[in-house]
Chains A and B, each alone.
Chain A
Amino acid sequence: NAGVTQTPKFRILKIGQSMTLQCAQDMNHNYMYWYRQDPGMGLKLIYYSVGAGITDKGEVPNGYNVSRSTTEDFPLRLELAAPSQTSVYFCASSYSQGAITGELFFGEGSRLTVL
């Protein structure tokens, strides 16, 4: 099993450009999350999804959009990139057995720089 796969691993964007960070998991997990981590800081929740067709905002959703058309995929869209979006982005998934367990399986991260 590949687990949680994120692409690309590194990307440099110019201010105002747009891009999509891809996230796919092969564990049939219902719950998926996008976090960003600025240098020396913790993880901030951007968006999350509890299943296909259902998404919700986290702590820092401005400037981002998500979709969840399948259980496996949870892409994160950055519109009009700004330097403040320079960060490492982590996608994670989790399973539930009646209730969510809280154990997150993380991808390796995508390092984004906006110049």
Chain B
Amino acid sequence: QKEVEQNSGPLSVPEGAIASLNCTYSDRGSQSFFWYRQYSGKSPELIMSIYSNGDKEDGRFTAQLNKASQYVSLLIRDSQPSDSATYLCALLYSSASKIIFGSGTRLSIRP
């Protein structure tokens, strides 16, 4: 089993709708989870971090964490064409200071 798993997509969502991105992980001890956005040809940038079970909201973005189910998700409300990018789920490994990424989900917002 991969340490961090994501559906590679592409996920196509109409403008103005909610985009839902999902991630599962195998390291039960991990406490810190992150969502990075990467535009084509660019470096990843952090958009959300979450450490506790439940929801965390920041503008149009909501991160959700369920440690019992080992599941992290990212919701993007009122999707805009500028949200079209690859979204990378990452976690801080519990037994070391290494940050591991999933394979990313490519999101496309159609007008």
On A, residues with C-beta under 8 Å from B are: 31, 33, 35, 40-45, 48, 50, 56, 58-59, 90, 94, 100-104, 106-109
Rounded to whole Å, the gap between the CB of A39 and the closest CB of chain B is: 11
CB distance from B89 to the nearest CB of A (A): 8
Distance between A1 CB and nearest chain B CB, rounded to angstroms: 16
Interface size bracket, B side: 20 to 34
**Cβ distance B79 to chain A, nearest Cβ, rounded Å:** 22
B32 at the interface (CB under 8 A from A): yes
Q: Tell me the complex Cα distance, A58–B88, Å.
A: 18
A41 close to B32 (CB less than 8 A): no
Cα of A59 to Cα of B99 in the assembled complex, Å = 10
Asked whether, in the complex, the Cβ of B100 is within 8 Å of the Cβ of A59, the reply is: yes
Taking a contact as CB atoms closer than 8 A, the residue among B4, B49, B96, B102 that contacts A56 in the complex is: B96
* Given A43-B88, A109-B43, A56:B98 Cβ within 8 A: yes
CB-based nearest A residue for B91: A102
The answer on a CB contact under 8 Å between B99 and A33 is yes
Once the chains are docked, how many angstroms separate the CA of A27 from the CA of B81? Answer: 33
B-side contacts of A35, CB under 8 Å: 101
- Do the beta carbons of A50 and B103 come within 8 Å of each other? no
User: Which residues of chain B have C-beta atoms less than 8 A from A40's C-beta?
Assistant: 8
Residues of B within 8 A of A58 (CB): 98
